[in-house]
A and B are shown apart, each in its own frame.
Chain A
Amino acid sequence: MADAYIYDCVRTPRGKGRPDGALHEVPPIRLAAHVLARLKERNNLPTDQVDDIVFGVVEAVGEQGGVLPRAAALYAGYDLKAAGVQVNRFCASGLEAVNQAAAQIMAGQADLTIAGGVESMSRVKIMSAGAAWYQDPDVAFPTYFIPQGISADLIATKYGHSRTDVDAFAVESQRRAAAAWRDNRFKKSLEPVKDQNGLTILDRDEHMRPSTTMQSLAALEPSFAEMGAKAGYDEVAILRYPDVERIHHVHHAGNSSGIVDGAAAVLIGTKEMGERLGLKPRARIRGFASIGSEPSIMLTGPSDSAEKVLKRSKMSAKDIDLYEVNEAFASVVLRFMQVTGVPHDKINVNGGSIALGHPLGATGAMILGTLIDELERSGKGTGMATLCIGAGMGTATIIERV
């Protein structure tokens, strides 16, 4: 089996996923083309050598639909030979893209691939594409569908995360992200988005609120209490988990991942291809795995996928120096820590999606880039990226510096 090496990672800054967000004016195809173009320029990439471009796109409809990665490659001026494909594994799509792009290399069926993802959540709203899973009564019933926010509150209820616990986690995410920016730790991967005149549209992560405190969060009302009561979601959660008397709604906008716009791309190739192109490998992909978990509580998959990929890679949790665990909701990471015993100081050391935002299709590729940058900066060796996923799944990838 061939080894898959990561040669470079780029990402856009994350813009607020609202009409007043800076990237709202930029269609998703331009965000995707931007990261592809930057990857090409930074690496002097002969794009006729690119076998495939695998991009995560969750809501692949309208301007975000129709095999966007192929159109983005053409739009970014890539050679006609560079193929493209979109993948969807909900919130882990960006990491799934990395895994599939790497898999082509490892299987010996490609020499150079690009992985990544894009989501303009301000322009193509979440759930735009629809899904039999949650709207077809025949499917939603037996799978006890509840929205993710309710699932996150269910995790907190079942595993004893208080409002104080989740708020404290969020404050720390903001603190770490602010410190990382002060330290300029994202500069290696970050590629500001510019207009056709070369003027900067956005060069920083726009969602962050470094001034966040326990007091400021305490003022926020739980986001899912009313919905849980009125739409019957709390009741459905309890039907699935009848040992729970009542759902404690602890999550709100301040301790959940931000809705943002953004894109990312990762250059992956064989050792030989890197040598031929004169590129220096930054990391090797040790292994990856996806796993299904109970779909109603939905967001407990990261620890399951971590366990699976460690086993497949013949490693243990202690062998991993740094983790990126997507902060979809505070309780997701708190639960991950409970199950795996990994201390918080190894996880999301530069903040996570609560502070920075979670552009669905792109996040997995973004946090992988963040992980590599941080391993290099801190001189550490191994890292794992993992995300919780809709419908009850987890995806995890282990990398090591070379």
Chain B
Amino acid sequence: MISYDVDKDGICTLAWDMPARSMNVLGNESIAAWHEAVERALADETVKGVIVSSKKPDFIAGADLEMLLVLDDAQAIMALIAKLQAIFKRMETGGKPFVAALNGTTLGGGYELALACHRRIAAENPRAQIGLPEVTIGLLPGGGGTQRLPRLIGMEAAMPLLVQGTRLSAKDALAKGLVDELVPAGELLAACKKWLLAGGAPNKPWWDKTYRQPGTPVQSPKGYDLFVTGVARLHAVTRGNYPAPKAIMSCVYEGMSTNLETGLRIEARHFTKLMLDPVSRNMIRTLFFSMGDARKGTRRPKGPATAEYTRVAVLGGGMMGSGIAHAAASQGLDVVLFERTPELAEKGKSYTAKVYDRAIQSGRATAAERDAALARIKTTTDFADLKGVDIVVEAVFEDPKIKDEIIRKAEAEIDPDAIFASNTSTLPITGLAKSSVRPHNFIGLHFFSPVDRMELLEIIRGKDTSEDCVARAMDFAKKLRKVPILVNDARGFYTSRVVALYMEEGMAMLEEGVAPALIENAGRMAGFPVGPLSLTDEVSLELVHKIRGEWTRDTKVPPFPGAKVLRHMVEKLGRLGRKNAKGFYEYPPEGKKSLWPGLGEIWRASAAQQDVEELKRRLLFVQSVDTARCIEEGVLTDPRDGDLGSILGWAFPTWTGGAASYIDTVGSKTFVAECDRMAQAYGARFAPPKSLRDMAARNARYYKV
């Protein structure tokens, strides 16, 4: 696990190389091995100095989250941290110089281990990421990161890195002082040795009584200012839903007011509290484990061999089609972009240039990459050009007639085993597949807009879609670096079906007489990026009215709760949303949008307003209970798909872990009891499905941890 080599100059190299893992991580076994290695080097009289290195492409990626997630006892967590801190202190004060050789990515606990070394030298590795990103999964750096980094580079410089969890390039890490030296990759170990032989000293000033922190002290008028504004800014952004960034601020505030030893203890207490907080566990579960599983293709049928992709056809050069073309071309696929006219096809292609130009401006891409991607996109108006593609993705108008024609014409040209995928966001796949002569190779691939930024891909399995086709669609998702979820065909699939309930509930509240500002703020306070009325404006009231109307007509479901409001707004008032600058909001040519005052005249706000906490709960519950229904109906076959779909698809608040995890967070028993209450108070849409009621009876969960 950690090799031990001492050369003739007395330089000991402790190289990390965990077996059966692509990355080194701090786990129970590796920490024990590290402890042993450190003590051995300190005791070894031939050793003058120590190089800490990795035999893998990266240094250490962080802590083993599986090890952390099973801990559910405060004492046990504190004990684990104390053990790690003791080793770090031994490294710092053991009397021998340690230098960290950061060959690649060094994150979280890995960077904290490097912080406990006396020097950090990084290789010029363009793929390396260095930093303390714990906050992004709801944690804080619990291995001294909140204490040592501010003591190294000053509180002001450290705070944004800690609170935002910034991952820096090696170059930026050098500029910000996170590493001391940057050397060509081939010279890394030599540079470390050179520093040691040149007399690199085992000094850690922050263990000295005379140590003075760099930069602004916490307890100074300027320090007060930083915290006053920092806290408010954080409060505004997190809306109180995310304990981790606040806990990080507290670690810095409390810990930097004292010495390192005390600061580390303070950090450990905050870390322990977070570790036991459902929010952190939700975020780790969904953002780390479920997301990682999805990317790895856990949901892919096991049998079929991995499909290779070289050529893809995209039908339709509108917003979605052009985005899909970009996604494919940027991953090295040849793209045939089909449109009705050459102009429309070129317009669709120009989107890729636009995305690249933005990336070039911010230094994330080069002109050569742009030109290569553009060269891969061939525009056409001739179906014959579809010959030989591995997959066709259609993104034409959401009109069954147009789709029918497109499917027939395209299938006439493509190979029988090529996949035909529809990017429809609402039309049932099984219905569309009726136009197909090979429905087993017909599937739904629901991309999200803007395609270049939205990671989710909702894969919809039609009634006749083969397992082989599903597997190959999963391979396509991986090729495009999308996070796939697998959904069985039903109206609205999963994402379009459930997000609509957010909008509907907002409109139901409006009709009940809840003040419009309160509705919108309740949505934002629950953790959604925008309120339900605002979202409806963006999607367009007209579109929601149309789709939901068709749904009600075609499936004989009772009218949706927002139906009356929508009809009035669209049919009586012609308020269609953002697109005609008249919706629930008004959009002055200059200045910010604001709620249309007319709302209050049509739907008078009642004198006694509902508590905002109740409104928040309604907005979350209505979506989660329908997610449970999706599971019962088999639309979803894995709660992870509900969690990822809701978080990545329409920004369901990550603190909940997703629409399924939220039920676990509340507890199925309480959740069902609340659903029953709300069904009484607001309507049958809150009534829990039978399977959820059964879960509640056993107080069961979707997830073990």
Q: CB within 8 A of B232: which of A125, A128, A130, A231?
A: A231
Q: How far does the alpha carbon of A130 sit from the alpha carbon of B227 in the complex, in Å?
A: 11
The reply to whether B228 and A135 contact each other, CB–CB distance below 8 Å, is yes
Contact with B along A118-149 (1 / 0, CB 8 A): 00000001011011001111101100111100
Q: Which residue of chain B has the shortest Cβ distance to A136 in the bound complex?
A: B253
The A interface is mostly helix, strand or loop, or mixed, namely loop
- Interface membership of B231, Cβ < 8 A: yes
Chain B nearest CB: distance from A340 CB in Å? 23
- Interface membership of B472, Cβ < 8 A: no
Chain A residues with Cβ below 8 Å from B228 are 127, 134-135, 140, 145, 147
Stretch at the interface among A159-167, A240-248, A302-310, A343-351: A240-248
Report B226-283 residues with CB < 8 Å from chain A CB: 227-237, 239-240, 246, 249-250, 253-254
Chain A nearest CB: distance from B274 CB in Å? 13
Interface residues on A, range: 20 to 34
Chain B nearest CB: distance from A139 CB in Å? 9
The reply to whether A137 and B221 contact each other, CB–CB distance below 8 Å, is no
With A140-B232, A141-B246 as given contacts, are A245 and B595 in contact (CB-CB < 8 Å)?
yes
Chain A residues with Cβ below 8 Å from B254 are 136
With A137-B227, A239-B240, A243-B517 as given contacts, are A127 and B221 in contact (CB-CB < 8 Å)?
yes
The reply to whether B250 and A135 contact each other, CB–CB distance below 8 Å, is no
Chain B nearest CB: distance from A61 CB in Å? 9
The reply to whether A242 and B232 contact each other, CB–CB distance below 8 Å, is no
- Interface membership of B93, Cβ < 8 A: no
The reply to whether B235 and A235 contact each other, CB–CB distance below 8 Å, is yes
- Interface membership of B522, Cβ < 8 A: yes
The reply to whether A236 and B219 contact each other, CB–CB distance below 8 Å, is no
* Chain A CB within 10 Å, residue with most, of B229, B240, B609, B612: B229
The reply to whether B517 and A232 contact each other, CB–CB distance below 8 Å, is no
- Interface membership of A238, Cβ < 8 A: yes
The reply to whether A231 and B229 contact each other, CB–CB distance below 8 Å, is yes
The reply to whether B249 and A137 contact each other, CB–CB distance below 8 Å, is yes
The reply to whether A245 and B229 contact each other, CB–CB distance below 8 Å, is no
The reply to whether B517 and A245 contact each other, CB–CB distance below 8 Å, is yes
Chain A nearest CB: distance from B91 CB in Å? 30
Q: Which residue of chain A has the shortest Cβ distance to B232 in the bound complex?
A: A232
- Interface membership of B525, Cβ < 8 A: yes
Chain B residues with Cβ below 8 Å from A136 are 227, 250, 253-254
Q: Which residue of chain B has the shortest Cβ distance to A134 in the bound complex?
A: B228
Q: CB within 8 A of A235: which of B231, B236, B246?
A: B236
- Interface membership of A233, Cβ < 8 A: yes
With A242-B612, A245-B595 as given contacts, are A125 and B221 in contact (CB-CB < 8 Å)?
yes
Q: CB within 8 A of B235: which of A130, A239, A244, A245?
A: A239
The reply to whether B236 and A232 contact each other, CB–CB distance below 8 Å, is yes
Q: CB within 8 A of A144: which of B221, B235, B246, B516?
A: B235
Q: How far does the alpha carbon of A246 sit from the alpha carbon of B521 in the complex, in Å?
A: 10
Chain B residues bordering chain A, tally (CB within 8 A):
36
The reply to whether A242 and B525 contact each other, CB–CB distance below 8 Å, is yes
Q: Which residue of chain B has the shortest Cβ distance to A133 in the bound complex?
A: B228
- Interface membership of B505, Cβ < 8 A: no
Chain A nearest CB: distance from B404 CB in Å? 46
- Interface membership of B520, Cβ < 8 A: yes
- Interface membership of B224, Cβ < 8 A: yes
The reply to whether A137 and B246 contact each other, CB–CB distance below 8 Å, is yes
The reply to whether A233 and B232 contact each other, CB–CB distance below 8 Å, is yes
Chain B nearest CB: distance from A273 CB in Å? 43
Chain B residues with Cβ below 8 Å from A134 are 224, 227-228, 231
The reply to whether A135 and B253 contact each other, CB–CB distance below 8 Å, is yes
With A245-B520, A245-B595 as given contacts, are A135 and B224 in contact (CB-CB < 8 Å)?
yes
- Interface membership of B515, Cβ < 8 A: yes
The reply to whether B518 and A232 contact each other, CB–CB distance below 8 Å, is no
With A130-B224, A137-B249 as given contacts, are A145 and B239 in contact (CB-CB < 8 Å)?
no
- Interface membership of B298, Cβ < 8 A: no
- Interface membership of B594, Cβ < 8 A: yes
Report A187-201 residues with CB < 8 Å from chain B CB: none
Chain A residues with Cβ below 8 Å from B221 are 125, 127-128, 130
Report A336-393 residues with CB < 8 Å from chain B CB: none
Q: Which residue of chain B has the shortest Cβ distance to A138 in the bound complex?
A: B250
Q: How far does the alpha carbon of A127 sit from the alpha carbon of B229 in the complex, in Å?
A: 13
The reply to whether A231 and B517 contact each other, CB–CB distance below 8 Å, is no
Q: How far does the alpha carbon of A134 sit from the alpha carbon of B228 in the complex, in Å?
A: 6
Q: How far does the alpha carbon of A131 sit from the alpha carbon of B518 in the complex, in Å?
A: 32
* Chain B CB within 10 Å, residue with most, of A125, A127, A134, A147: A134
Q: Which residue of chain B has the shortest Cβ distance to A243 in the bound complex?
A: B518
With A135-B224, A239-B239, A242-B521 as given contacts, are A145 and B594 in contact (CB-CB < 8 Å)?
no
Q: How far does the alpha carbon of A134 sit from the alpha carbon of B518 in the complex, in Å?
A: 27
Chain A residues with Cβ below 8 Å from B517 are 242-245
The reply to whether A236 and B518 contact each other, CB–CB distance below 8 Å, is no
Q: Which residue of chain B has the shortest Cβ distance to A147 in the bound complex?
A: B228
Chain B nearest CB: distance from A219 CB in Å? 20
Chain A nearest CB: distance from B519 CB in Å? 9
Chain B residues with Cβ below 8 Å from A125 are 221
Chain B residues with Cβ below 8 Å from A233 are 232, 236
With A145-B231, A231-B232 as given contacts, are A243 and B609 in contact (CB-CB < 8 Å)?
yes
Q: Which residue of chain B has the shortest Cβ distance to A229 in the bound complex?
A: B236
Chain B residues with Cβ below 8 Å from A147 are 228
Contact with B along A225-268 (1 / 0, CB 8 A): 00000011111101100111110000000000000000000000
With A135-B253, A145-B228 as given contacts, are A236 and B236 in contact (CB-CB < 8 Å)?
yes
The reply to whether B594 and A141 contact each other, CB–CB distance below 8 Å, is no
Chain B residues with Cβ below 8 Å from A127 are 221, 224-225, 228
Q: How far does the alpha carbon of A144 sit from the alpha carbon of B240 in the complex, in Å?
A: 10
Chain B nearest CB: distance from A162 CB in Å? 16
Q: How far does the alpha carbon of A343 sit from the alpha carbon of B285 in the complex, in Å?
A: 61
Chain B nearest CB: distance from A225 CB in Å? 12
Chain B nearest CB: distance from A57 CB in Å? 17
Q: Which residue of chain A has the shortest Cβ distance to B227 in the bound complex?
A: A135
Chain A residues with Cβ below 8 Å from B253 are 135-137
Chain A residues with Cβ below 8 Å from B219 are 130
Chain A nearest CB: distance from B406 CB in Å? 45
Q: Which residue of chain B has the shortest Cβ distance to A61 in the bound complex?
A: B221
List 5 tightest A-B contacts by C-beta distance, closest first: A232-B236, A235-B236, A242-B521, A245-B517, A137-B249
Question: Please, could you name 15 A-B residue pairs with CB atoms under 8 Å apart, sorted by A?
Answer: A127-B221, A127-B224, A127-B225, A134-B228, A135-B224, A135-B227, A135-B231, A136-B227, A141-B246, A231-B233, A233-B232, A239-B525, A242-B518, A242-B525, A245-B517
Q: Which residues of B contact A (CB under 8 A)?
A: 219, 221, 223-225, 227-237, 239-240, 246, 249-250, 253-254, 515-518, 520-522, 525, 592, 594-595, 609, 612
Extra 9 A-B pairs, beta carbons < 8 Å, given A235-B235, A236-B232, A236-B236: A127-B225, A128-B221, A137-B246, A140-B232, A147-B228, A233-B236, A238-B521, A242-B518, A244-B517
